[in-house]
Amino acid sequence: MQRVCHRDPMLKKRDDFEDILEERRNSSDLRYALRCYTPVLYKEVTPCDSSMLKGMVLQSDQLHFVINQVSKETGRAADDLKDEASAILDEMAQCLQLSTVRFFAFVLSKVFKTLFRSIRVNEEGIQRLQQAIHEHPVVLLPSHRSYMDFLLMSYLLYTYDLALPVIAAGMDFMGMKFVGEMLRMSGAFFIRRSFGGDKVYWAVFSEYVRTMLKTGFAPVEFFLEGTRSRTSKSLTPKLGLLNIVMDPFLKGEVFDMNLVPVSISYERILEESLYARELLGVPKPKESTSGLFKARKVLSEDYGSIHVYFGQPVSIRSLAQGKVNRCQFNLEPRHIPRRSSEEIQSFVNDSAYRLVRAQEENMVLKPWVLLASLLLQNHHHQDHQRVAGAQRGRITLEDLTAQALWLRDLSREYGAFLHWPDHTPPSEVVSSSLSLHQGLVRICEGRVQLAVEQAEAEAGGIKEPQISVTPEEALLSQAVVILSCVSYRNQALHVFLRPALLASAIHTASSNCKQEVFNSFSFLRNMFSNEFILCPGDTVQDFEEACYLLMKTGALQVTQQEVVVTTSGQRTVAFLTNMLDPFLQGYQVVCRFLCEEASDNLTEKQFVPAVRKFIITLLLAGRLRYTEVLSSDLQKNALAALLRLGAVQKVKGVEQGTLKVNKVMVNSLEDTLGGKLPTQKAVAARL
């Protein structure tokens, strides 16, 4: 694999895109759906069909071992357990059928053409993928922002005559009667979201995935992030499936495997406001067929374009080179499941982070992402200064365009994969971006602002303006707009993350001393490692990268001892600090809540509603600037960080999962985040 080099992101070479919808608009969808399909297969493929696969799994040594073990432990008859295993497999297994795929190819062609202006794919990536599929078993790792993702993936692979993948899907899809079966026939296999200590389930599941890989049956596709990211930030990777797919390589059952990160970027996400509501506590609608049809409304809107970037295939063998001693599997039969060694755990974890970063890096950013970042900062900044009502959060189109150009150049310096149409006048780029997201922005007399007031009005009901809305309701409807914007800003976060952490570190550190700044950086990085994709153990590397980027743009001077912001760099550093500020504030608020408000027997379940209530109060009282802190994602991440740091513990209280808060420690973490305590003290507090 090519080790991603972070030294100079400007030099990153990326492929060009081709629009696949163009051909769809000019030729018959039916003929397309029925065309000859002869994909390149793995060169050492063991020819088999879905039912043979099942047989191989049920006869595997691993499953036999686990069944006998469970039988001994529980006293249940082995035959009984075998039947159970067989039933699990029936519930799980895909039964990929070309006819179903052809049906989807037809329907999706119609749908995609209605929804999207274009679907752009890097064809060089497709060629690399074809080669990769031929050479070794392949694991496809797309980013996950929408339900659309896996249908889109299969659609693309069909379009390019590539082997259709089998896809790990959450069990919740199975609830959608007819659709579930359709998905199964297009290659989805279903996994329960949690199966705790069910050894038989785990054995069947892992063996099933491994068998499909080893035989070269089909590329295996799953989402490293585990679930759709509601915030458009990449989620910290889930390791279960990655562990399973790496196993055959580590145990020498295949020579190598190719992991292919795929970055799918949506100009406008279908689930945009749905996600925002969900983050604000309106529960997620259960997946149901009728619900899907209700979503028909979305068909009438313009969702811009999709960019799909098939990344460089990553060879597991090269990933493991020098990191894993495979001899550790020599002394036990390989079919006996055993706990991964620490070496392997950290290898898998590290690899997962690298892969998610590879996804992030090839996400295409649209100009709107930069506009959303600017508009949000502007909104909060002016809000904070209590500008008179009508002027609140407004910025002239000219100013916005100028700022956007500045940010465009900055983000390019930082290596962003920005699709800014350079041959179009900037003002046009800005206005067309704004018009695609007219639900979120309002342009009035040449001034732009977030459409929060509009939202307030809608919440009140336009027909009955006299019925006053409770302040809370108004706040929540504003928050929907803000969180939607935030989700676009978040798309660019990975570009600015490291410099932003450094900028905040400089801001919170009590001096310019490099070591102190580093300590502060390291503290923030550690604090936010549930929030952002930060490879564990890469602190020094990240710090150096951040310094390099800020120095390159002239915003920073770094000497042996000192880190100093230049005069010309003030603007950049301010922008970066502002970008991270909502998170800093949010984490502090969560800490304050835990110290001041949390009852002794607060459970994990009650945490989000309680903290939300606390935050609403603060927001309404004007004591908190950022509405986005209402995002349950942020709140959960903050709690996870505190749990990880040991400032909060989960104990068995009256109820399962009662939170025990170490108030001294939480308090000192809050102070450190706010820059009131030097980093060293916080470290000491942790010890």
Partner 1 sequence: MASNSSGSSSDRQRIAQQRLRIIAGHLQRPEDGDSAVLSAECKGQVSKTDEEKTVPKRRQEIMKWNGWGYSDTKFLFNKKGQAEFTGKRYRLSGMIIPGLKDWMEGTFGANLQHKSPATPVLTSSAVQPPTINEAFVEEVKSTGIPFSHDAEDRVFRAHGHCLHEVFALREGKIGRVPDMVIWPNCHNDVVKIVELACKHNVCLMPFGGGTSVSSALECPPEETRSIVSLDTSQMNRILWIDEKNLTAHVEAGIVGQDLERLLNESGYCTGHEPDSMEFSSLGGWVATRASGMKKNIYGNIEDLVIHIKMVTPQGVIEKSCQGPRMSTGPDIHHFILGSEGTLGVVTEVTMKIRPMPEYQKYGSVVFPNFEQGVACLREVAKQRCAPASIRLMDNEQFKFGHALKPQVSSIFTSFLDGLKKLYITKFKGFDQDRLCVATLLFEGNREKVLQHEKQVYDIAAKFGGLAAGEDNGQRGYMLTFVIAYLRDLGMDYYVIGESFETSVPWDRVLDICRNVKARITRECKDRGVQFPPLSTCRVTQTYDAGACVYFYFAFNYRGLSEPVHVYEQVEHAAREEILANGGSLSHHHGVGKLRKEWMRDTVSSVGMGMLKSVKDYVDPQNIFGNRNLL
Closest by CA to 41, choosing from 103, 112, 113, 134, is: 134
The pairing of beta strand 441-444 with beta strand 447-450: antiparallel
Q: Does 11 bind partner 1 (CB under 8 A)?
A: no
Q: Does 654 bind partner 1 (CB under 8 A)?
A: no
The phi-psi region of residue 352 (left if phi > 0; otherwise alpha if psi is between -120 and 50; otherwise beta) is: alpha
CB-based contact 139:258 (threshold 8 Å): yes
DSSP string of 191-244, one letter each residue:
E-S--TT-HHHHHHHHHHHHHHHHTT-S-EE--TTSS--SSSSPPPPP-HHHHH
Candidate list 161, 181, 256, 562; residue touching partner 1; CB under 8 A? 256
Q: Does 471 bind partner 1 (CB under 8 A)?
A: no
What is the distance between the alpha carbons of residues 266 and 451, in angstroms, rounded to a whole number?
Answer: 21
Least Cβ distance, residue 522 to partner 1 (angstroms): 35
Burial class (CB in 10 A: 0-12, 13-18, 19+), 376: buried
Candidate list 252, 446, 461, 622; residue touching partner 1; CB under 8 A? 252
| Stretch near partner 1 under the rule CB under 8 A, chosen from 15-23, 143-151, 249-257, 423-431 | 249-257
Number of residues engaging partner 1 in binding (CB under 8 A): 11
**Strand, coil or helix: what is 153?**
helix
Q: Does 468 bind partner 1 (CB under 8 A)?
A: no
Candidate list 330, 424, 427, 470; residue touching partner 1; CB under 8 A? 330
Least Cβ distance, residue 335 to partner 1 (angstroms): 8
Binding residues among 332-371 for partner 1 as defined by CB under 8 A = 333-334
| Stretch near partner 1 under the rule CB under 8 A, chosen from 94-102, 250-258, 382-390, 616-624 | 250-258
Q: Does 65 bind partner 1 (CB under 8 A)?
A: no
Q: Does 323 bind partner 1 (CB under 8 A)?
A: no
Q: What residue has token string 């600017």?
A: 374
Secondary structure letter of residue 675 according to DSSP: T
In sequence order, which residues have a C-beta less than 8 Å from that of residue 338 and are 6 or more positions away? Answer: 332
CB-based contact 309:122 (threshold 8 Å): yes
What is the distance between the alpha carbons of residues 48 and 39, in angstroms, rounded to a whole number?
Answer: 16
Nearer to partner 1, 186 or 315 (CB): 315
Least Cβ distance, residue 96 to partner 1 (angstroms): 25
Q: Does 326 bind partner 1 (CB under 8 A)?
A: yes
Least Cβ distance, residue 259 to partner 1 (angstroms): 17
| Stretch near partner 1 under the rule CB under 8 A, chosen from 163-171, 281-289, 326-334, 581-589 | 326-334
Q: What residue has token string 């329960």?
A: 192
Least Cβ distance, residue 40 to partner 1 (angstroms): 18
Least Cβ distance, residue 258 to partner 1 (angstroms): 13
Q: Does 389 bind partner 1 (CB under 8 A)?
A: no
Q: Does 676 bind partner 1 (CB under 8 A)?
A: no
Least Cβ distance, residue 132 to partner 1 (angstroms): 14
Least Cβ distance, residue 327 to partner 1 (angstroms): 6
Secondary structure letter of residue 162 according to DSSP: B
Closest by CA to 251, choosing from 287, 207, 290, is: 207
Closest by CA to 487, choosing from 373, 639, 619, is: 373
List, in sequence order, every residue forming a beta bridge with 119; answer none if it has no partner: 306
Secondary structure letter of residue 628 according to DSSP: G
Candidate list 327, 388, 462, 621; residue touching partner 1; CB under 8 A? 327
Q: Which positions lie near partner 1, rule CB under 8 A? A: 252-253, 255-256, 325-327, 329-330, 333-334
